[in-house]
Amino acid sequence: MATPPHKRVILPETECAAPRNCKIIGHTDPQKILSVSVIVKRKNPLNLDELGGRIISREEFDEKYAADPASFEQLRQFAHEYGMAVDEAASSLARRTLVLKGTAQALEKAFGVQLQNFEHLDTKQTFHGFEGTISVPETQAGVIDAVLGLDTRSVAKPHHRFLAQAQKASAKSFNPPQIAQLYNFPTGVDGTGQTIGIIELGGGYTTSDIQKYFSGLGLKPPTVVAVSVDGGTNSPGDPNGADGEVDLDIQVAGAIAPGAKIAVYFAPNTDQGFLDAITTAVHDSANSPSVISISWGGPESNWAQSTVTALDDACQSAGALGVTITVASGDNGSDDGVGDGADHVDFPASSPHVLACGGTELLGSGSTIQQETVWNDQSSGGGASGGGVSNVFALPSWQANANVPAPSQNGGGRGVPDVAGDAAPDSGYNVLVDGQQEVVGGTSAVAPLWAALIALVNQQSGKKAGFVNPALYAAASAFRDITQGNNGSFSAGKGWDACTGLGSPNGQAIAQALSTASVSGGSDSGAKGSKPKHGKKH
């Protein structure tokens, strides 16, 4: 069909560079049916500072901060003009997501891109993508924040590490309840009445593994439900793939808060899938998670800026609704595995609206911690706690007194991580992966560890902790300060550091700090000035 004659404008922050270590294998089939998520602007700007830590209802959120139905109607007309269909069932005003489907040819015309098929030289994974920027008719540009799905490269990796078979005999590994005891987690509560959401971009779990694992710990297995997002499904079967991530997340969270329901959101490993999984979990009124654990991420420098902004916005929506998000800070130390000689932090851990979770190596027994240092096995080919300073997000107000080092680029400043916990494979977690007993570490274990703690705190207090960062930074005495070790460029020291944040938790003291915060979630989110300040490319 002929392209309607509209003046076109470039959508800001959508510049996309050619994917690294990939080759073009041809133009995307013009008749292939593709799907994109158009992220629509809010009715009103959302600023957690202005909410003063107040948690709002879904009804108030929909009234004030969802997408405007008129914007959706405007984009439906746009879709019609360009021969695209609207997937109404997959669209949501609360999620500010309108899903459009059409041929590659129609999408190319609608968004001003040329779609190519790529193959990754190492993994042989194929995907479609584009180089350059996205453009739309000027009449539509004012209502769109981002368009996701035109590029389907894998954006994130799971942050878990298996302990090598040869090292298992000498490892001092733990069952998750033993970690909870060492960290003095609240007792007399088990997460009943809470739902822990878990984001997964691959892999799966089997019911038989869950039954066997929890019966082995003498615990009643938690209720686990799989939620499909963008066609992602619970797909176990590859013990060397993402199954280890999925099993680790469920088993750590479930063993510490066995009374909690666990909702696992499976989505494709694309920027569209990642964002849709988070917004689906945040706005899931059926399962209603009060805390969401994310153990996937990638270097900030690998993300398109519009995706970073949209994903951070989704995390800010979570804070407004009282949903805490815990995110693994990465397993590759201060350079986040980029290997360009510079320091990098992982996203979405670098979002100022999540609790970024770094890693330690832990020695202890019973309720006594004998030693705890920064996790860093890089000298022997292993990993290390991710951490450093964001080059995208400004220093939040609640980190103003944390002595965060200066960013290497203007506009950055947010320090990563916020908190820490046991992550070294040598002191890792005993888990069951596809029927096999494994010892697994990585900051992937720390996100569900903290998510389980938040679930216990929520049950104990009878309210949602919500956005916890301001309250935690005001309660440094609730942490075990980690002062030994480094993650490459940064060393642990007194107070906050870019290896382990504020430190590892004293669970009872954390519960006390969160329950006595002046208002649920604290009164100063630091949301002002924490938006991304400059463009990033894929």
Place of tokens 């040819």: 105
β 135-137/144-148 pair status? unpaired
Phi then psi dihedrals of residue 477, to 5 deg: -70, -10
Point out the catalytic residue in the list 249, 284, 343, 524.
249
User: Which residue in 91, 78, 73 sits closest to 35, CA to CA?
Assistant: 91
444 is catalytic: yes
Give the Cα separation of 314 and 306 in Å (integer). 12
Could you tell me if 486 and 398 are in contact, meaning their C-beta atoms sit under 8 angstroms apart?
A: no
Q: Which residue has the tokens 């595995």?
A: 337
- Three-class SS state of 138: helix
The DSSP output letter for 102 is E
Half-sphere exposure of 366 (CA within 13 A, CB side): 2
Angle at 57 between CA 52 and CA 59, to 5 degrees: 130
Q: How many residues does the chain have?
A: 538
- Which residue out of 13, 145, 243, 245 is catalytically annotated? 245
Q: Is 249 a catalytic residue?
A: yes
- Dist. CA 234–CA 239, nearest whole Å: 14
Both tokens of 161, joined, read 């590490």
d(CA 326, CA 291): 8
Q: Do 154 and 411 meet the contact criterion of CB atoms below 8 Å apart?
A: no
Catalytic residue among 35, 444, 461, 525: 444
Quick one: how many helices (H) and strands (E) in the chain?
13, 27
Residue 408 annotated in active site: no
Three-state DSSP state, 356 = strand
Show which residues are catalytic: 245, 249, 444
